[in-house]
Amino acid sequence: MQKTITLFVIILFSIPLFSQEKLNEVKVIKKQKGIQKSFTVTGNTTLITSKELLKAACCNLAESFETNPSIDVSFSDALTGTKQIKMLGLTSPYLMITEENIPSVRGASQAYGLSFTPGTWVESIQITKGAGSVVNGYESISGQINTELIKPINDIPFFLNAYGSSDSRFELNTHFNKKISDKWSSSLFLHGNTRVAKTDMNNDGFLDNPLAKQINILNRYQYYNAEKGWVSFINFRYMNDKKQTGELDFNPDKDKGTTNYWGSEINTERLDVSTKVGYVFKDLPYQSIGFQNAFNSHNQQSYFGLNQYNIKQSSYYSNLIFNSIISNTMNKFAAGLNFTYDKYQEFVNVNDYSRIDNSVGAFFEYTYDNADNFSIILGGRIDNHNRLGTFLTPRLHVRYNPWEKGVLRFSAGRGKRSANIFAENQQLFASSRTFDILDSNGKIYGLNPEIAWNYGVSFAQKFLLFGKKADAGFDFYRTDFQNQVVVDVLQSPQQVLFYNLNGKSVANSLQLEFNYEILDHLNFRSAYKFYDVRTDYISGNYQKPLQAKHRVFGNLEYETHIGEKGKQWKFDYTFNWIGKQQLPNTASNPINDRLPEFSPSYSLMNAQITRTFSDRFEVYVGGENIGNYTQEKAILGSDNPFGPNFDTSIVYAPVFGQMYYAGLRFKIK
């Protein structure tokens, strides 16, 4: 019975629970690869384990994908140091980003939300390419990223992580765990980070990274009763994040709202409360019901020079899920209802764009799995949205194993979403561009909802090469937009235009992978990625700006044998080559503030060394951008930031240059 309950929890909540007798199994899993791909799961899903997250300075969720070829990481602008992610050639708004299967980074939090989850809180990350499950909503277009946080029932009594870097960033993480009773456990996570020194490595008069302070607190409670089939979670979180950037001499007390010096402050306060309750029917262990609820308040007050942008989002999300079988366990289904409410109070300078969005939906998902070589998931949902109308969302995933250690997958699905044009493009406020919306008949900023179909096929094969384990594979995905909100920076360097797609917009993504165990404990991981992302703009059909067509990824990891008292060395090296990128149009600027049509290609190298002294204590040192490649001109018009040519948003490469860091981890078990 207990084994069945554990399975239910994994499906419904993605929470791996283990009884006291199964603790040894956890240790075995930790010795496996940091990135795992199942050959029996229907979807094209990659699991990033906590082991992989320790291979780089994963200070927050946005920085947790550096060693994973499925996600592309880049800087969003030349000022805030914010890292953005892309998958299948599309930016993060086209991904459904969830935390323990509850939507998290969306709406007002799109620009900076990934930096609000500290890396030490993360237990694992599941990345699914292509159309996601209908259980989680209708917004997913290019895929889904689901983060699992550390569970109180499995946590250790105390954890400490301290971190410092050469760009004057310092972090401290402490975790406290207490077993309240045999069924209740609680964890308290405390995170603080700050950047106190001003740096200007490229001598353009602007900070390369913002002065920053963040306080982040999470308190979670878990109840687990295996005998009666109950599991539940209660989470409380508070976060306060402050950033200041701009010219070196900018003082917000004296210069805010003036043209003395150009500066920016982004202050965000966030409150989250969520609950989950799950029950497995005692006499019908294959049947279960779960209820998820989440409330969050996200309040951002910010200005960029003379541009003011304030947004407050108050949201409520509820999801009721029922799981059962049809005749036998080869035929399963999930059905349910969900409700979403979003209140936006949004102000761009003096313009009020406040609105209320709400939707109610029902879904049904059927799964057939012969427990051998074939499985299929067919899902659909119907939603009624006060702005998007009433619409259907179909999704399909198929897996077939044609022979041993080989897997072929196919997926197709439709996604629909509201484009939050200001929240998703905040980097453009730090420029002299005017924001112009060309359409006025739609219900979201005068624009229509975005609708896209995504199709994909993938194949993977494991084999032996010279007696060592290897695997290779490919995946190809295509996203066809029926409608897209086009963000046009190709028309003029003084404008950004927003309008509904008139023509075609497609994103083709091809990824080839090869992974090989060269020697015992020495592993090589590689990938080549090709992106053809093109859109019909007013001025013609162009490749999407700041998206490289070609990318090459490589990773080497080596671990020594675990010695006496757990002593061990770990080495990790990651290489990225990024091809040329289409740049926004700057042809009409004065010659000193122009950029070429395409950026040059370049390469980046990161490395880390970890020394484990025992199973309780380890230290690590590492470096990012070891080759010290930087963008030659990151800020246009930096000598006249209130002039017509100022732009900090055209960033295709690092701004800071080399960055080195060190840290330690201490545990009480």
Tens of pLDDT, residues 187-237:
999 999 999 999 998 889 999 999 999 999 999 999 999 888 999 999 999
Tens digits of residue pLDDT in 440-455: 899 999 999 999 999 9
DSSP β-bridge partners for residue 125: 48, 147
Three-state secondary structure of 408-453 = EEEEEEEEEECCCCCHHHHHHHCECCEEEECCCCCCECCECCEEEE
**Per-residue CA distances from 242 to 10, 222, 300, 313, 320 (Å):** 36, 31, 10, 18, 36
pLDDT at 63: 87
pLDDT at 34: 84
Strands (E), 281-327: 288-304, 307-326
> Looking at this protein, which amino acid is placed at residue 255?
D
At a CB cut-off of 8 Å and minimum separation 6, what does 233 contact?
13, 15, 100, 220, 221, 222, 223, 274, 275, 276
Sign of CA dihedral 587, 591, 594, 595: positive
pLDDT at 26: 39
> Is the predicted pLDDT of residue 659 greater than 50, yes or no?
yes
Strand order in the sheet with 72-75: 72-75, 83-87, 90-91
pLDDT at 131: 87
At a CB cut-off of 8 Å and minimum separation 6, what does 303 contact?
256, 257, 264, 265, 309
**Average pLDDT, stretch 533-546?**
96
> Is the predicted pLDDT of residue 17 greater than 50, yes or no?
no
Tens digits of residue pLDDT in 30-55: 456 788 998 999 999 999 998 898 88
What is the Cα 513 distance to its own chain's centre?
Answer: 21
pLDDT at 21: 31
Do you know the residue count of the chain? 669
- The residue to which tokens 């196919």 are assigned: 410
> Is the predicted pLDDT of residue 69 greater than 60, yes or no?
yes
Q: How far apart, in whole angstroms, are the C-alpha atoms of residue 262 and residue 256? A: 8
pLDDT at 510: 98
**Average pLDDT, stretch 359-373?**
96
Return the DSSP state at 12.
H
Q: How far apart, in whole angstroms, are the C-alpha atoms of residue 364 and residue 379? A: 6
> Is the predicted pLDDT of residue 27 greater than 50, yes or no?
no
Q: How far apart, in whole angstroms, are the C-alpha atoms of residue 269 and residue 299? A: 5
> Is the predicted pLDDT of residue 531 greater than 80, yes or no?
yes
Tens digits of residue pLDDT in 438-495: 988 999 999 999 999 999 999 999 999 999 999 999 999 999 999 999 999 999 999 9
**Which percentage of the chain shows pLDDT scores above 90?**
84
Closest C-alpha among 411, 479, 412, 492 to residue 450: 479
3-state SS assignment for residue 10: helix
> Is the predicted pLDDT of residue 3 greater than 50, yes or no?
no
Residue 75 and residue 655 in contact, taking contact as beta carbons nearer than 8 Å: yes
Closest C-alpha among 105, 60, 125 to residue 315: 105
pLDDT at 5: 35
Strands (E), 466-521: 468-483, 485-488, 495-500, 505-519
Least confident span in 76-85, 132-141, 611-620: 76-85
Instruction: Give this prediction's pTM.
Output: 0.92
Closest C-alpha among 220, 226, 217 to residue 148: 220
Q: How far apart, in whole angstroms, are the C-alpha atoms of residue 208 and residue 659? A: 12
pLDDT at 31: 56
At a CB cut-off of 8 Å and minimum separation 6, what does 308 contact?
302, 347, 348, 349
pLDDT at 328: 92
Average pLDDT, the chain: 92
> Is the predicted pLDDT of residue 29 greater than 70, yes or no?
no
**Phi, psi (rounded to 5 degrees) for 331:** -120, 105
3-state SS assignment for residue 23: helix
User: Which two three-digit tokens encode residue 617?
Assistant: 């204590």
Q: How far apart, in whole angstroms, are the C-alpha atoms of residue 555 and residue 523? A: 8
At a CB cut-off of 8 Å and minimum separation 6, what does 255 contact?
261, 263
Radius of gyration of the chain (CA): 24
Sign of CA dihedral 493, 496, 501, 506: positive
Q: How far apart, in whole angstroms, are the C-alpha atoms of residue 87 and residue 70? A: 7
3-state SS assignment for residue 11: helix
> Is the predicted pLDDT of residue 649 greater than 50, yes or no?
yes
Element (H, E) at 25: helix 23-30
**Average pLDDT, stretch 358-369?**
97
Element (H, E) at 456: strand 450-465
DSSP per-residue codes, 41-93: SSS-EEEEEHHHHTTTT--BGGGTTTT-TTSEEEES-SSS--EEEEETTEEGG
**Average pLDDT, stretch 564-589?**
94
Closest C-alpha among 352, 351, 318, 320 to residue 336: 320
